[in-house]
Every structure is written in C-alpha cells, then in structure tokens.
Amino acid sequence: MPAYNRPDALPRALETLLSQTFDEFAVVIVDDKPSAEVRAVVDRYAALDGRLVYEPNSQRLGMIGNWRKAFERGRELYPSSDYFAWVSDHDMWHPRWLEALVETLDRHPRGVLAYPLMQRVYERHRRSVTRRFETRGTASPVRRLRTAQKGMAAGNCVYGLFRASALERAGVFRPVLAPDRQVIVECLALGECLQVPEILWYREVAGEFSYGRQRRMFFPTGIPLHTYLPTTVQHVSVLFWDLAVRGIGRPGMGRAAGAVYAGAALWFESRRELLKPDAWWREMLRKTPLKPWISTRPRADDADDETPVANAPGPIA
C-alpha cells in the first residue's frame, strides 16, 4: 500500500483488506508522508492483525518511487509470494476481492493480471463502472495489445492482482507519464489480462486527470525533461528497450517479436492518442468557432460506461 496522508480513510481501507476471505497475504504500507495520525491508525490495526507491516519513508519519494518501493519491499519481505497487488490508502475492497482474483489467476496460468469490476465512490453518490475488457484466450500479444487499446482503463487495471514474476519482468513502474498504462501494455506482452465480472472494488474518486498534476505527484524532487515528450514516445521507448534490446520477453517472445510488439504499440497508441475524444487537436478546435461540430464525449476512462447507484452515500466514516 503506497500511502500518502489519508488518516481519515485508512481505517476503512485497512479493515476491508484485513477482512478478506482469502487470508494468506500481508499488507506492506509504505508511507510517503508519515504522520502521527497515520502511525496511530496503523498501530491500532497492527495490534489486531500481524499481517500488517509499516514502513515510513524518511524523505518523499513521489508516487512512482513509492509504488516501486511498495513492490520491492513486498518482494523482499515475502519472496515466495506468487501474486502482488497495489492498494490505495482510501479505497474499499469487497471481502471476496482477493479470493476471486487469486482463484482466477490460479485457474489461468497464462494470466498475468486479474482485476474486478468497480464502483466509483463520489462524495454524495456512487457509480458502477460496467466496462468489460480482458484478453482471456487471446494467444497473440499483438492482438492483446489491439484489444487493450480499444477497451482498457489502465487506471483500474493497475489495481488488480499481478503475477509477481511477470510484473517484475515488466519493470514495475517506470519514470514516465501514465506509468500504469505502460506497465500493463508491457505485461500484456507476457500474458493475458483477466477480468472478474463482479463489482469487488470501490474506488474513491480523486482529482481531475492531467499530465501536469502527474508530473508534480510523480517527481517531487525534479521533473525529468523526457516527461515532456508525448506519452506514446515515452512508453514505446521503454517497450523497445525492454523487449527488443534487453529481451525480457524471452523465451516466449524473442527480440525480433519484441520489436514488432513495440512497433504495434507505437501504431495503436498513436492512433488512440489522435482519435480519443480529448485529443489535443480536438481541444484546439474546441476553442474555435468549429466547437459545435467537435465531439464532447468524455474520456474513455471515465463516465461513458458508468451507471448511477441510487440512495448510495459516498465515503462512509
């Protein structure tokens, strides 16, 4: 759990995690903004449950550094663990969340990631996200990639359960913008993404998406220049380096096949970036008199497949 200053929501998050029906797991909290309140909450639950490990950072690592550290510390402390998941310090998980995901990955050895349907929790209401995306049964990595470009919401998938070895090969989180999308695209080169068709994760909605916000959150000590390149260039460069030069996909995917995969990613991502409803050229045209003719559909990651839940309160104290 990469934590960052949410002592208000942490008890709920910890309770829903520690109440999982599948109990062979541990929670490693890596706190990027330690405080007495967070410490008190963690101590209270650590006294009840020995599966809780707390590690405050002595200096702020930023989101990418903190997410990487959570993975690395998890692997160091529990090297025999087959699976790994990032969890936030403010969401809620259904008691069967881990049980269903572990069962799915156990049944499908070719799966590298399993994730459930989710419900967004707003301040005063909730919305169920019924988007369906998975690459179950698709043997070709390029076909998996093509499917992902059409329907994947990386921000939801990244909170799924990963096969730890595959995630390690894929390089965990890289210092690029939208690192969740990058790591999942890389994982898709190694195996299938599976979806559990039940709402088992309740996600509290944070602020608006923007690359500027990502740069500030990811790199607190200084923003690298390469993050000003288009995200497609950042992602494909990492992919090419990993798959075509380092050959991390071997033996399943050779270097040449890795280069083809990176090329396919360049094509699919470029097309996606150009055609998406909030593409830069659409934004520019929206500032002109042509605005009425420009589509105003929301981002694919957001509201197009959400359904409201009546009588549903938002965050619960």
Partner 1 sequence: MTSTPDPTRPATPLWERLARRVASRFGPGAPRKAGPRRSKQERDQELVELRGQRIEKKQQADEAREQRRREQAARRDEARLDLDRAVDAAYANYRRVRDWALHVRAAGGGHLPLDDRDRQIAASLAPLWDADRATIANLRHWSDPVRGPQPSLAAAPPELGERLRRRVGMLRKWQLGHVLVPEVATLGKSGFMIGKERHSEESVRFALGTAALAEGGVLSAFHKPSDRGLVWEIGGGWGGFAYLFKTLCPNVTYVITGPLERLLVSASYLMSVYPAARCRFYGEPGTGEIWADWDDVDFVFAPESLLSDLSPPRLDLTIDIDELRGMAPARRAALVQRAHEWGSRYFYSMLPALAVDDPAGPWDVIARFYWPHPISLRTERSRAYRRLSPPEHEAAHLIGWKRMCL
Residues engaged in binding partner 1 (CB under 8 A): 11-12, 15-16, 18-19, 21, 44-45, 48-49, 92, 94-96, 126, 128, 198-200, 202, 307-313, 316
| Residue number with CB closer to partner 1 (278 or 306) | 306
Report how far residue 17's alpha carbon sits from residue 21's, in angstroms, rounded to the nearest whole number. Answer: 9
| Residue number with CB closer to partner 1 (96 or 246) | 96
| CB of 134 vs partner 1, minimal distance in Å | 18
| Residue number with CB closer to partner 1 (197 or 252) | 197
| Residue number with CB closer to partner 1 (15 or 168) | 15
| CB of 98 vs partner 1, minimal distance in Å | 12
Asked if 232 and 176 touch (Cβ cutoff 8 Å), the reply is no
| Residue number with CB closer to partner 1 (18 or 233) | 18
Report how far residue 304's alpha carbon sits from residue 237's, in angstroms, rounded to the nearest whole number. Answer: 31
Strands 126-129 and 306-309: antiparallel
Report how far residue 308's alpha carbon sits from residue 312's, in angstroms, rounded to the nearest whole number. Answer: 9
What distances in angstroms separate CA 89 from CA 29, 34, 130, 296, one per listed residue? 9, 13, 23, 33
DSSP secondary structure string for all residues of 83-143: EEE---SS-EE-TTHHHHHHHHHHH-TTEEEEEEEEEEE-SS-EEEE------TT---HHH
Query: Of 6, 162, 7, nearest to 71 (Cα)?
Result: 162
| CB of 11 vs partner 1, minimal distance in Å | 7
| CB of 83 vs partner 1, minimal distance in Å | 20
User: If you ran DSSP here, which 8-state letter would residue 80 be given?
Assistant: T
| CB of 15 vs partner 1, minimal distance in Å | 5
